[in-house]
Homo-oligomer: A and B are copies of this chain.
């Protein structure tokens, strides 16, 4: 139980109080975001380690199982990483015999990544879902109304940030 650092006494709200309280609130929210992110990553990694995979590799296995074969670029977009990063991940998975590469016939630049039998078998044995880790927390910590509130607020935030950074962002240019 993190004791709420009761955000400051009314009588002091004169000049600097509002900005200060604002700053403290933002910091706390930012910390929470970072905490939730890193914790979910850690848990994913633990799950993956149980079957001899890394976190990103587990994501790749599940995505390929759910969607089917994907080009490397599409895969990169899915796991929000650069092509050069995914090349390495796929290299190591190929070495382990979990996936293989097949050059596309229509466009000989693209490479399709697909699960091998071994990879597919592994995928079926996994109950993992990307955000499953959050689900318990959301379900137990928040009421349905609160969940909806949170969704609305996060959406506003994300939309705002996206609108601010769009245009100067290389990847976002594609429009997704």
Contacts and interface: CB of A to CB of B under 8 A. Distances in A.
Interface of A: 1-2, 4-5, 7, 22-23, 25-40, 43, 66, 80, 130-131, 134-142, 144, 146-151, 153-165
Contacts of A28: 151, 154-155
Given A33-B37, A40-B30, A153-B146, A158 B2 contact: yes
Given A25-B148, A27-B131, A161 B39 contact: yes
A153 B157 contact: no
Contact of A156 (B43, B136, B141): B141
B34 A138 contact: no
Contacts of A80: 34, 38
A170 to B, nearest CB: 11
A164 B138 CA distance: 12
A47 to B, nearest CB: 13
A150 B147 contact: no
Given A35-B161, A80-B38, A29 B139 contact: no
A144 B148 CA distance: 18
Contacts of A161: 35-36, 39, 137, 141
Contacts of A30: 40, 130-131, 134
11 contacts: A26-B134, A28-B154, A29-B138, A33-B33, A35-B158, A136-B164, A137-B161, A146-B156, A150-B153, A150-B154, A153-B153
Nearest to A23: B135
A134 to B, nearest CB: 5
B160 A141 contact: yes
Contact of A29 (B34, B130, B134, B159): B134
